[in-house]
Amino acid sequence: MDTITKEIKSEISIVICGEAGQGIQTVENILTFVLKAAGFYVFGTKEYMSRVRGGSNSTQIRISEKPVFAYVNNIDILLALDKDAIPHLQSQKRVSDNTLIIGEQEKLQTNLSVIDIPFVKIAQEIGNAVYSNVVAASVLACLLKINPELLRSHVKQLFSKKGEVVVQKNIEAIERGYKSGESFLNSIKIDIKPRSEEEIKREILLNGSDAIAMGAISGGCNFIAAYPMTPSTGIFTFLAQSAEKFDIITEQAEDEISAINMGLGAWYAGARALVNTSGGGFDLMVEGMSLCGMIESPLVVNLGGRPGPATGLPTRTAQEDLNIALYSGHGEFPRIILSPGNIEDAFYLTQKAFNLADKYQVPVFVLSDQFLVDSFYNLPEFDTSNIKVEEHIVQTTKDYKRYQLTEDGISPRGIPGNGEGLVLVDSDEHDEEGHITEDLDIRTKMVDKRLKKLESIKQEISPPNLIGPENYKTLIIGWGSTYGPIKEALEILKRDDLAFLYFNQVYPLHSDTINYLKKAQKLIIVENNATAQFGNLIKLYTGIEIEDKFLKYNGMPFAVEEIVERLKAL
C-alpha cells in the first residue's frame, strides 16, 4: 500500500462513485445515519444516470462543524467502486492531487495513487460479496473516528428483519472494515469536532422530497393523484406510505391527464388534494390547469423540474419549468408560484400552499427540482406550533351562488351535500350560479372577478429575503434551489458590498422587489436554465434588465466554487 498523506481540517467532502446497482445508496444511508448520530453536520446530494444498472452514479457527503446546504466540486475522499468512477469524476474536473482515493487498485486501473482495499475479497471471506458495502462504509467511519458501536447499533436495527445470521455477518463486515481503515489511519488527518448529544437529540435528517410530503400532510392533504415521474416520485411514495396513518387517499393514475382531473374532483368534493409530476407530465396536465382556472378550484401542484425538452435528462436537475407554471392553460386566470430553496422552505411553503389554494380558489405551484428533493441534511425539528389548516368552505343556502360577484373576486365556496344549495361547475363561461352563458357583459365581469384575486394574493406573498449587508453595491438574485450555493459563496467571500436577494415565492412578484433592485449598482442573477426565466419575469414586471447572468443548464446544480469564481472574475 502506498503511503499517502493528506490533511483535512474542519470540513470534508466525501464522494462515493460506482455503477447503479452497486449499493452506493446503502453506503450513503449507513454513513449519514452514524455521522448525524455522532454529532456532525451532514449534507448529502447525488447524481445518477437514467438506468437501473451500469453507468456512473455518485453521492456526495459533506461533513462539517457548521451547517452546510450546498454542492461543492471539491472531493477530499473518493470511494471509487468501479473502473469508470475516476474517469467520470475527472471529466467533471473534480479529482485533484489532494483527493484521497480508496478502492480496489486492480479494478480501478488508474495511474493515480490509490489506497488499495479489496472490499469484495473481504466480503467474500465473510460469506458473500453483498457485504462489501458495509465494509466500505466502515472504512470511511473509521477514518472519521466514529465510535464503531454506533455503526453496530445501526446495522443491527437495519438488518434485524433478515435474521441473526445476516446481522452477525454485517457486524463482522464492520470489524473488517475498521481494521482496514486503521491500517492507513495515519495517512489522513481529520479535525472535525462533533457536537454534544444534547445539541443533536432534537435534530432530524431529512431530504427535500420528504419535507415536501410532510408539508403537504401538515397542510391537511388527504388526497394525492400522480403518475410516477422523476424527480417527484419520492413525494408520492412518502404520502402513499403514510396514507393509513394520516387518512390519505392515494391514487396512482393511468396518466397525468387523469391525475389532475382527479385532483380537481377531490377539491370539488371538499378534499385537499395534491397533484405531483415533472415537466413532461405537466405538459399533459395543461388542459386540466385551464379547467382549474375556469371553475375557480383550489389545487396544489408539485412540479419537479428536470432538463427538457421532452424526456431530456430525466434524472438530472434544472430550473426550466418556471415559464410553463406561469403561462400554462389558455385564457387568463391567476395562480401562485412558490419555489422552496431548502428543506425548511420545502416544508413550510408546501403547508402554506394548501391554505393559499383554499382561500383564493386558485392553483398553487410548489416548484422543486432533483437537486432539492434528493439533497438532505440534519436540522432542528420543524416548529408546528403556529401551523393551522385553514378551510374556507361555506354551508350553502337555497339561493347559493357559486360564482357570486364580490369586491375582492373571491366567491363563497360550497361543496355538494354541505347545505341546501346546488354547487354548479362547468368548463364553459358561466353566470354567478354556475349556469353556462354567452352573455358578453357577464363574460367580462367573470374575467375581471377572477383576475381581481391577484391584488389580494399580492398582499399575502412574503417579500424576498435579503441575505448580507443592507448597504450593498452588488446584488445577487436567486430563487429556489440556488439558495445554498449562493449563500455559502457569500460566506466565503465575506464582502461588505455584496448581498443576496433570495426568492422562495416567485409569482406574483412582491412589490418590494423593484426597490431592492434599484438600490444596487450591479445586478447578477443565478439560474439553472439557459434563458434566465426568472430574470425575464423580473424585467416584465419591473422594467429592469439584469445584464450579468450566471446560467447553468448541463443537468448539474451550481457548485459553491463556481459562484465564488464568477463573482471574483467580476
Angstrom distance (rounded) from CA 147 to CA 35: 10
**Same domain for 243 and 286?**
yes
Output DSSP code: residue 337.
Answer: E
Confidence of residue 207 (pLDDT cuts 50, 70, 90): very high
The domain boundary, picked from 350, 380, 410, lies at 380
pLDDT digits (tens, 9 = 90+) for 464-473: 999 999 999 9
Q: What residues does 101 pair with on adjacent strands?
A: 78
Residue at 385 is within a domain:
no
The domain boundary, picked from 405, 432, 460, lies at 460
Residue at 397 is within a domain:
yes
**Same domain for 422 and 558?**
no
Q: Note the pLDDT of residue 43.
A: 97
Q: Note the pLDDT of residue 21.
A: 80
Asked whether residue 525 carries a pLDDT value surpassing 70, the answer given is yes
pLDDT digits (tens, 9 = 90+) for 356-404: 999 999 999 999 999 999 999 999 999 999 999 999 999 999 999 999 9
Angstrom distance (rounded) from CA 259 to CA 243: 17
**Same domain for 101 and 163?**
yes
Q: Note the pLDDT of residue 196.
A: 83
Q: Note the pLDDT of residue 500.
A: 98
Residue at 117 is within a domain:
yes
CA-based radius of gyration for the chain: 26
Angstrom distance (rounded) from CA 233 to CA 222: 17
Closest residue by Cα to residue 158 from 140, 174, 181, 176:
174
The angle formed by the CA atoms of residues 138, 139 and 143, to the nearest 5 degrees, is 110
Phi-psi bin for 241: left (phi > 0), alpha (psi -120 to 50), beta? alpha
Provide the residue range defining the domain that includes 429. Answer: 393-460
Asked whether residue 254 carries a pLDDT value surpassing 90, the answer given is yes
CATH code for the domain in which residue 549 is found: 3.40.50.920
**Same domain for 328 and 449?**
no
Q: What is the mean pLDDT of residues 522-541?
A: 98
Q: Note the pLDDT of residue 20.
A: 84
**Same domain for 193 and 332?**
no
Residue at 387 is within a domain:
no
Of residues 493 and 53, the one with the higher pLDDT is: 493
**Same domain for 42 and 106?**
yes
Which amino acid makes up residue 447? Answer: V
Collapsing DSSP to helix, strand or coil, 279 comes out as helix
Asked whether residue 530 carries a pLDDT value surpassing 80, the answer given is yes
**Same domain for 376 and 405?**
no
**Same domain for 241 and 344?**
yes
- Cβ-proximal residues to 223 (8 Å cutoff; 6+ apart), any chain: 248, 249, 250, 251, 262, 263, 266, 271, 272, 273, 274
Residue at 13 is within a domain:
yes
**Same domain for 376 and 417?**
no
Q: What is the mean pLDDT of residues 1-20?
A: 76
Pairing of strands 100-103, 77-80: parallel
**Same domain for 375 and 407?**
no
Asked whether residue 494 carries a pLDDT value surpassing 60, the answer given is yes
Angstrom distance (rounded) from CA 519 to CA 522: 9
Q: How many helices (H) and strands (E) does the chain have?
A: 21, 22
pLDDT digits (tens, 9 = 90+) for 320-329: 999 999 999 9
Asked whether residue 513 carries a pLDDT value surpassing 90, the answer given is yes
CATH code for the domain in which residue 76 is found: 3.40.920.10
Looking at the 3D structure of the chain, how many domains does it have?
Answer: 4
- Cβ-proximal residues to 329 (8 Å cutoff; 6+ apart), any chain: 286, 287, 289, 290, 292, 293
Residue at 123 is within a domain:
yes
Q: Note the pLDDT of residue 408.
A: 96
Average pLDDT score, the chain: 94
Residue at 423 is within a domain:
yes
Residue at 398 is within a domain:
yes
Q: DSSP alpha helices (H): ranges in 48-131?
A: 85-91, 105-108, 119-126
Sheet strand arrangement including 376-380: 115-116, 100-103, 77-80, 11-20, 54-64, 41-47, 376-380, 203-207
Q: Note the pLDDT of residue 197.
A: 79
Confidence of residue 170 (pLDDT cuts 50, 70, 90): very high
Angstrom distance (rounded) from CA 492 to CA 66: 13
Asked whether residue 194 carries a pLDDT value surpassing 90, the answer given is no
Q: What is the mean pLDDT of residues 35-39?
A: 92
Angstrom distance (rounded) from CA 56 to CA 88: 7
Asked whether residue 113 carries a pLDDT value surpassing 70, the answer given is yes
Which amino acid makes up residue 416? Answer: P
**Same domain for 303 and 357?**
yes
Asked whether residue 332 carries a pLDDT value surpassing 70, the answer given is yes
**Same domain for 57 and 155?**
yes
- Cβ-proximal residues to 340 (8 Å cutoff; 6+ apart), any chain: 208, 212, 346, 349, 350, 366, 367, 368, 372, 480, 504
Contact 44, 28 (CB under 8 A): yes
Confidence of residue 1 (pLDDT cuts 50, 70, 90): very low
pLDDT digits (tens, 9 = 90+) for 50-107: 888 888 999 999 999 999 999 999 999 999 999 999 999 999 999 998 899 999 988 8
Share of the chain above pLDDT 70, in %: 98
Angstrom distance (rounded) from CA 264 to CA 258: 10
Q: What is the mean pLDDT of residues 130-148?
A: 92
Angstrom distance (rounded) from CA 298 to CA 443: 21
Q: Note the pLDDT of residue 6.
A: 62
